[in-house]
Chains A and B, each alone.
Chain A
Amino acid sequence: MSDKLLKVRNLKIGATVYPPGEKPKEIEIVHGVDFELEGGKVLGLIGESGAGKSTIGLATMAYGRGGVELTGGEVWVNGRDILKSRMRDVRRLRGGEVTYVSQSAAASFNPAKKIMEQVTEAAILQKKFSKKEAEARAVELFRKLGLPDPENIGSRYPHQVSGGQLQRCMTALALCPEPDLVVFDEPTTALDVTTQIDVLAAIKEAIHATGVAALYITHDLAVVAQVSDHIMVLKMGEMVEYGTTDQIINNPREEYTQALVSVRSIRHEEKQPTDNPLLRVENVTARYRGTDFDVLKNVNVELHPGQTLAVVGESGSGKSTLARVITGLLPPSKGQITFDGRSLSQDLKSRSYEDLRELQMIYQMADTAMNPRQTVGTIIGRPLEFYFGLKGKEKQRRIQELLDEIELGTGFQDRYPAELSGGQKQRVCIARALAAKPKLIICDEVTSALDPLVADGILKLLLNLQKIEDVAYLFITHDLATVKAIADSIAVMYQGQVVRYGTKSEVLSPPFDDYTDLLLSSVPEMKLGWLEETLEHRRMESAGH
């Protein structure tokens, strides 16, 4: 048909869904998408959840996950329409011409087999290489991808290497058979930000070195800007915009793309510390029962009334444990917490109603934070009843008031959580916290499970509510962009310790300590060439030391 490596024409994809208590339904999730890809080029597919990007990625291998079915259109790979090919030919394509890197390498590797066997399997199966050649090639790829001990890492089992390393092994697995096209499906999303930059660099380097073409699927425009030549923006199964990376990032035409590009651009005037902090955490050390190491070591932070303290750190830094200590779920082994001038009891059970009411919490997963058997009205109404004894009309009036505050209209009272979208759920959780008229709300990664645009909406709402209600936030997050957007002061945590603490402007200005520097410089920026600049910068620094 043509010399293009990949040519997708009017691709339509359907799926069977199982709504609760109803008969299964057929729906269309991708409504006719067209694109092309030349050999050796990288195309970024970007969109929020439900955009159909992974589904389209897998369609280039003629594969439908779960109840997904490729219902129409054409997918041409190397000059033949694979949707009309026989199963035998499709099998030769998969793992030979087109390969796949999934989001979770930990789940995608067979736990019972050694890494080398799995990495070389496709190459041997597709008769691209002999076992010996494939193994030599795998070792070469391990080296290129910057894995430690490339000669021997293949003889380990998947659970014996770290998450970031396994993700690189998965890339080696995909590259080993010398494919023409690799589908990268959110390969760095599950990783910590400081690991992400290394894996991203390794993937980019490997794509470059092998001259393979790639589809790079992600929800993070800043990430895809670093690796792709072209970008296609998707929304609800339809293409919104297609262009070169430069054009999409610097000159987006469509409104939706503009919104994606300008996401996380909330700016917020920093407030100065007051004389009377609302919350004071002093010398807090804590460990979980049955373990023999401290998860928190001598933590000292302060939070001022009506302000936001952001606690930043990667997984395992102890930031969520700090929240548990403050709420009383985990009594500290040392140290004390002062709240509004009075000493807080260490144990939840011995706290007064007043303490409980004034200190509320919002969770990361709004899904599990609400009882699925209670209506929104019941969920928001319970604190009103519990703390203020409100009943009947009075309660209804207040519920409506709160629903207005979180920008949900009437009619939401009688809905169940399952009937709400992700953003709406999180808003209801915010309303439940506000219902108690608290002085402090602990927000534990409240935006990290949400799509960027939705997350932006939640952050704006929180800032707005802070102005109206004069409530303070203890904002726990791993996302530095969020921190920049809303914090007044920042505590950076690493391995249970606060390594840097101060007002936002102090913390984010040099000179930096090593860890904060690493953390700050690892956050992808929405500009071309950021990855190279950062890596170059790091090389210079380490050469200078």
Chain B
Amino acid sequence: MKNMPISAIIGLFFTGLYFLMAIFAPLIAPYGMSEVVGDVWEPASDQFILGTDNIGRDLLTRMIYGGQTTIFIATMATILSFVTGSVLGFFAAVSGGWVDQAMSRFVDLIMSIPSLIFALVVLSVMPTTVTILIVLMGLLDSTRVYRLARAVAVDITVMDYVEAARLRGEKVVWVIFREILPNALSPLVAEMGLRFIFMVLFISTLSFLGLGVQPPQADWGGIVKENKEGINYGIAAALYPAFAIATLCISINLVADWILNRTTSLKGGRG
């Protein structure tokens, strides 16, 4: 942890900040989530730090609760995507043969349709609840995690030390958890950051299209949708979520970059 570059420290700080805000949203938010407290699109004031939204709710409150929803859905979907993708990816890599072939071809097929289009097709027949959104996004995205996990594991399984373990007579469980996993962890954790960013963008897009989180619940994509008319009158309310998403995503990117760099320098630092 020593010698952490300044960019990673900044990234880690802001990522932490956003997650803390999400967790303690009800304690921080000045008003109730869907409480109408003022006029439509009131400008920023001491009372409403960011002003009010299209029906007179406090925008800061909406942003904090919106962050909670967005981050919660993105986190759950990322976890789902990771667990499914990496377990199946490792399994395919260690099994090899037709199991690997069948699984990989199926993943190719899913990935041949753009995620957003696939999601829209499914959402045209499914109700848009938070659970369905998480499952849908998590499963669609697990294809990407599967590919990475499989590729990383395949690279590791051809290493001599894995062969040495097999020659010693070690069981598959030992090989996966003691030989492969510790070496696959860093690239996977770095990828986790990128997948999380993708999830934030994905859920925001769906909500903006009206197919994600449903009102009155707040989320960052939805806040844009609710306040987009304001833009035409020069009211910037719809732009705050853009700022929030950008800073969150950049922070996570910085952390992921740092983790990835540490791994590669570890590889190159032999001798």
Contact = CB atoms under 8 A, between A and B. Distances in A.
A370 interface: yes
A327 B167 CA distance: 7
Interface in A1-58: 18-23
Contact of B159 (A20, A328, A368): A368
Nearest to B185: A373
Contacts of B262: 20-21
A365 B160 contact: yes
Contact of A373 (B167, B182, B265): B182
B183 to A, nearest CB: 6
Nearest to A23: B3
Interface string B242-271: 000000000000000000001001111111
Interface string A357-377: 000110101011111110000
Contacts of B167: 327-329, 348, 356, 360-361
Contacts of A23: 3
Contacts of A21: 2-3, 262, 265-266
A308 B34 CA distance: 82
A502 interface: no
Nearest to B160: A369
Contacts, number: 67
Contacts of B163: 329
Contacts of A348: 166-167
A21 B260 CA distance: 11
A331 to B, nearest CB: 14
Contacts of B271: 418, 421-422
A432 B265 CA distance: 27
Contacts of B106: none
Interface string B133-165: 000000000000000000000000001110110
B179 interface: yes
B269 A418 contact: yes
A331 B175 CA distance: 21
B169 interface: yes
Contact of A356 (B169, B183, B267, B269): B169
Contacts of A361: 164, 167
B3 A369 contact: no
Contact of A371 (B161, B268, B270): B161
A422 B183 CA distance: 21
Given A23-B3, A348-B166, A372 B266 contact: yes
A382 interface: yes
Given A371-B161, A371-B179, A373-B183, A382 B168 contact: yes
A372 B160 CA distance: 11
A363 B183 contact: no
A418 B169 contact: no
A20 B269 contact: yes
B170 interface: yes
Contacts of A421: 271
Contact of A368 (B161, B168, B169, B170): B161
B186 to A, nearest CB: 10
Contacts of B159: 368
Interface centre among B3, B268, B270 (most CB of A within 10 A): B270
A386 interface: yes
Interface in B177-192: 178-179, 182-183
Interface in A125-156: none
A368 B169 CA distance: 19
Interface string A390-429: 0000000000000000000000000001100110000000
A383 interface: yes
Contact of B265 (A20, A360, A367, A386): A20
Contacts of B169: 351, 353, 356, 386
Q: Interface extent on B, as a size class? A: 20 to 34
Contacts of B2: 21
Contacts of B168: 356, 382-383, 386, 436
A337 to B, nearest CB: 15
Nearest to A382: B168
B52 to A, nearest CB: 48
Contacts of A18: 265, 268-269
Contacts of B160: 363, 365, 368-369
Contacts of B170: 386
Contact of B270 (A22, A351, A382, A418): A418
Nearest to A422: B271
Contacts of A373: 182-183
A351 B179 CA distance: 22
Contacts of A369: 160-161, 164
Interface in A319-369: 327-329, 348, 351, 353, 356, 360-361, 363, 365, 367-369
B262 to A, nearest CB: 6
Interface string B111-152: 000000000000000000000000000000000000000000
Nearest to B267: A372
A19 B164 contact: no
Contacts of A353: 169
A372 B159 CA distance: 11
Interface centre among B2, B159, B179, B268 (most CB of A within 10 A): B159
A415 to B, nearest CB: 13
Nearest to A363: B160
Nearest to B180: A371
A417 B161 CA distance: 12
A224 B254 CA distance: 50
Given A372-B183, A373-B183, A363 B266 contact: no
A371 to B, nearest CB: 5
Given A20-B262, A22-B3, A353-B169, A363 B164 contact: yes
Contacts of A368: 159-161
B81 to A, nearest CB: 25
B92 to A, nearest CB: 18
Contacts of B178: 371
Given A21-B3, A353-B169, A361-B164, A367 B270 contact: yes
A356 B169 CA distance: 7
A385 to B, nearest CB: 11
Contacts of A363: 160, 164
A187 to B, nearest CB: 24
Interface string B70-114: 000000000000000000000000000000000000000000000
Nearest to A22: B3
A449 to B, nearest CB: 11
Contacts of A432: 164
A401 to B, nearest CB: 20
Contacts of B161: 368-371
Contacts of B270: 367, 372, 417-418
Which 9 pairs from chain A and chain B are nearest by CB? Answer: A20-B269, A369-B160, A373-B182, A356-B169, A363-B160, A20-B266, A368-B160, A371-B161, A20-B265
7 contacts: A18-B269, A20-B262, A329-B167, A371-B178, A372-B183, A382-B168, A386-B168
Given A20-B265, A373-B183, A417-B270, 20 more contacts: A18-B269, A21-B3, A21-B262, A23-B3, A327-B167, A328-B167, A329-B167, A351-B169, A353-B169, A356-B168, A356-B169, A360-B167, A367-B270, A369-B160, A370-B161, A371-B179, A372-B270, A383-B168, A418-B270, A418-B271
